[in-house]
């Protein structure tokens, strides 16, 4: 049993390119609070964090960049080629990750917590888990995904896939095995059924009527917001394709696949879909993209209700900062964004490495980035 009598903790692991992060995101859609332990490990030795100086003392100042951060690529090349160096790094980082995870679990309001970690079974985090879930996929599927999604040559992809402990060892100790070889619909079905089977008292969110689509919303009417579900994929795809004037052509299958990376907040007017925002919280940073609104809407009122709901949901996921990326006419509404507490920023001015990383990974060419800090008490904050 976990250390928290009021929480049910799922430990999620699996080898590279087997779909851990997609499954974690799906569990978040079902109502779990999720933790990416590997992202916390990077935070643990960011500039000013508790592991920063111990890592430099152990491995040398040659790892430090001009900005004063530890170069993760240099550190990675060192530890992945030297087993002893890897053990030394883990001895510094793993206790800090465990402490940070415990803080997040204690603060979580959700009764179910998911911890994703590539080395979950080898470390102390396993001891806090009530159920072990393992994602599994054949080697040829792993290699194909690494080549397609990360641009690796086949030889490198094969080397990365074989560098980890055999998948059979993880499967052997799993309470739940998620086989990720088919469609996203099949994966969603497996995750949903396993959720209902394993989590005490858990059920899927009550079914509601799918969002209506097909014609623009009226110019007036009651506005409301709800979180999108996979069953809303067709309506979301139609709205984005139409409001982007074909620049973002999406199908229901495209939206279904994107549910593995993000959530959608849907703005309704009199029961019809009138706006959408795609968002995710990763490494305690909210990134909101794909904001589209019907031209007939009151922009200020619509943005206020839509973004505030994203912020509310983000606070439940303990997000520290909100980054909004916009490319259309909404970027010209500076006074509206400022009233909502957002400032136009560049990634270099954000100050916190995790926030800068999120900005760099999300920012698309030509987009405007807006920033708002959501909370002061950061995990693994500078000491």
Q: Where in the chain is the domain with CATH 3.40.630.30?
A: 223-373
Q: Encode pLDDT of 118-163 as tens digits.
A: 989 988 888 889 999 999 999 999 999 999 988 989 998 898 888 8
Average pLDDT of span 181-201: 89
How many whole angstroms separate alpha carbon 67 and alpha carbon 65? 5
Q: Which CATH superfamily is domain 223-373 in?
A: Gcn5-related N-acetyltransferase (GNAT) (3.40.630.30)
Per cent of the chain over pLDDT 70 is 93
Q: Which of 50-59, 272-281, 349-358 has the lowest mean pLDDT?
A: 349-358
> pLDDT averaged over the chain?
90
Which CATH topology does 8-198 take? Rossmann fold (3.40.50)
How many whole angstroms separate alpha carbon 170 and alpha carbon 148? 25
Q: Which residue has the higher pLDDT, 26 or 380?
A: 26
Average pLDDT of span 16-45: 94
For the entire predicted model, the pTM comes to 0.88
Contacts 24+ apart (CB under 8 A), 348-355: 350/321, 352/46, 352/320, 352/321, 352/378, 353/43, 353/46, 353/47, 353/69, 354/39, 354/42, 354/43, 354/46, 354/283, 354/284, 354/285, 354/320, 355/285, 355/320, 355/321, 355/323
Q: Encode pLDDT of 73-124 as tens digits.
A: 899 889 888 889 999 999 999 999 999 999 999 999 999 999 999 989 988 8
Residues 6+ apart with CB under 8 A from 343: 337, 370, 371, 372
What pLDDT sits at residue 271? Answer: 86
Q: Is the pLDDT of residue 336 over 50?
A: yes
Q: Is the pLDDT of residue 260 over 80?
A: yes
Q: Are 303 and 333 in contact (CB under 8 A)?
A: yes
What pLDDT sits at residue 366? Answer: 80
Residues 6+ apart with CB under 8 A from 62: 74
What pLDDT sits at residue 220? Answer: 59
pLDDT tier at 221, thresholds 50, 70, 90: confident
Q: Where in the chain is the domain with CATH 3.40.50.300?
A: 8-198
């Amino acid at each position: 049993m976990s250390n928290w009598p009021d929480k049910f903790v799922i430990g999620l692991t699996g080898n590279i390119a087997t779909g851990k992060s997609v499954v974690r995101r799906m569990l978040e859609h079902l109502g779990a609070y999720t933790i990416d332990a590997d992202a916390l490990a990077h935070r643990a030795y960011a500039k000013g964090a508790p592991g920063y100086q111990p890592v430099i003392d152990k491995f040398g100042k040659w790892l430090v960049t001009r900005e004063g951060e530890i170069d993760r690529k240099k550190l990675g090349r060192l530890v992945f080629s030297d087993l002893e160096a890897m053990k030394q790094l883990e001895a510094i980082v793993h206790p800090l990750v465990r402490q940070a995870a415990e803080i997040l679990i204690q603060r979580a309001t959700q009764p179910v917590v998911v911890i994703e970690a590539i080395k979950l079974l080898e470390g102390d985090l396993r001891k806090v888990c009530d159920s072990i879930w393992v994602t599994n996929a054949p080697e040829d599927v792993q290699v194909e995904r690494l080549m397609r999604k990360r641009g690796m040559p086949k030889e490198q992809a094969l080397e990365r896939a074989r560098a980890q402990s055999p998948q059979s060892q993880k499967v052997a100790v799993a309470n739940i095995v998620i086989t990720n070889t088919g469609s996203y619909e099949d994966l969603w079905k497996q995750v949903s059924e396993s959720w209902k089977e394993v989590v005490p008292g858990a059920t899927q969110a009550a079914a509601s009527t799918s969002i209506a689509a097909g014609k623009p919303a009226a110019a007036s009417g009651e506005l409301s917001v709800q979180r999108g579900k996979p069953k809303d994929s067709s309506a979301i795809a139609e709205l984005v394709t139409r409001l982007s004037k074909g620049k973002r052509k999406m199908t229901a299958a495209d939206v279904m696949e994107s549910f593995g990376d993000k959530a959608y907040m849907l703005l309704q007017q009199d029961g019809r879909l009138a706006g959408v925002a795609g968002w995710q919280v990763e490494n305690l940073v909210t990134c909101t993209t794909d904001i589209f609104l019907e031209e007939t809407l009151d922009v200020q009122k619509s943005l206020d209700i839509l973004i505030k709901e994203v912020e509310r949901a983000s606070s439940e996921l303990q997000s520290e900062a909100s980054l909004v990326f916009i490319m259309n006419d909404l970027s010209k509404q500076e006074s509206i964004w400022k009233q909502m507490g957002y400032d136009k920023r560049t990634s270099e001015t954000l100050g916190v490495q995790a926030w800068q990383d999120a900005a760099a990974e999300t920012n698309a060419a030509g987009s405007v980035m807006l920033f708002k800090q959501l909370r002061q008490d950061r995990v693994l904050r500078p000491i």
